[in-house]
Amino acid sequence: MTPRIFERTYLELKREVTSGRHKPGQRLQARGLADILKASTSPVTNAMRQLVGERVLEYTGEDGFIIPWVNEHRLRDLLSWSSWLSTTDPDDFHFGAADRQADDIALSADVVAATEYLFLAIAAPAQNTELSRHIGNSNDRLRAIRILEQSLIPDRAHELNDLNQFHLSGNRPALIKAIGQYYRRRLDLIPQLIGLSYQDRN
């Protein structure tokens, strides 16, 4: 297996398991995923192990690889952690000006992708690779929830546009305040988000 094959399989598998098409606790089998991804089982299994390390998947001796369970404690911790990552400003982070190319964020129909892009863009001026890596991982782990929240937060595109404008203007205090409001809104919706997570998929 070449690194190129593994990388392609890993990225495609991550898109599949974070797509919102799978319920929490659902068991995943390498052979079935290999058919979906048109890949052999070896790179799929290795990619699944990698995603367990990133906490995008879970592994248990009884059930094997599964979509992580969602409960109030886990989701609250993940949302709070993601909020902290996006608003922390320790002394050793030297935030520079926002990249003006972020103005082309294209807050279009794909609000989930735009959200992930924006939170990475917000972290970029800190020039801290660990911060960006953790925000990227939070994006992966929250993707299914962000897909499901559409029915609960119909104005989220406007909400995201406001965050983007604060980011581009360099008004970091206003941006931090708005990010806090963004995450508090979702923390208040945790019971509904969990309920949506366990609904049957079409």
Q: Which two tokens stand for residue 108?
A: 């279009």
Task: Give the whole-angstrom CA distance, residue 43 versus residue 12.
Answer: 11
pLDDT at residue 73, as a whole number: 97
pLDDT at residue 99, as a whole number: 54
Q: Whole-prediction pTM value?
A: 0.89
Collapsed DSSP state (helix, strand, coil) of residue 92:
coil
pLDDT at residue 109, as a whole number: 57
Which residues partner with 66 through β-bridges? 27, 58
Collapsed DSSP state (helix, strand, coil) of residue 65:
strand
pLDDT confidence tier of residue 185, bands split at 50, 70 and 90: very high
Average pLDDT over residues 183-197: 97
Tell me which residue has tokens 């609000």.
111
> Helices 172-187 and 72-87, interaxial angle, to 10°?
180
Give the residue among 83, 124, 82, 126 at the shortest CA–CA distance from 101.
124
Is residue 102 over pLDDT 90? no
Give the residue among 72, 21, 25, 65 at the shortest CA–CA distance from 45.
65
Is residue 3 over pLDDT 90? no
Give the residue among 178, 153, 141, 152 at the shortest CA–CA distance from 14.
141
| More confident of the two residues 62 and 76 | 76
Helix (H) or strand (E) holding 147: helix 129-148
Q: Look at 134-138, 157-161, 187-191 and tell me which has the smallest mean pLDDT.
A: 157-161
- Which stretches does DSSP call E strand in 36-171? 58-60, 64-66
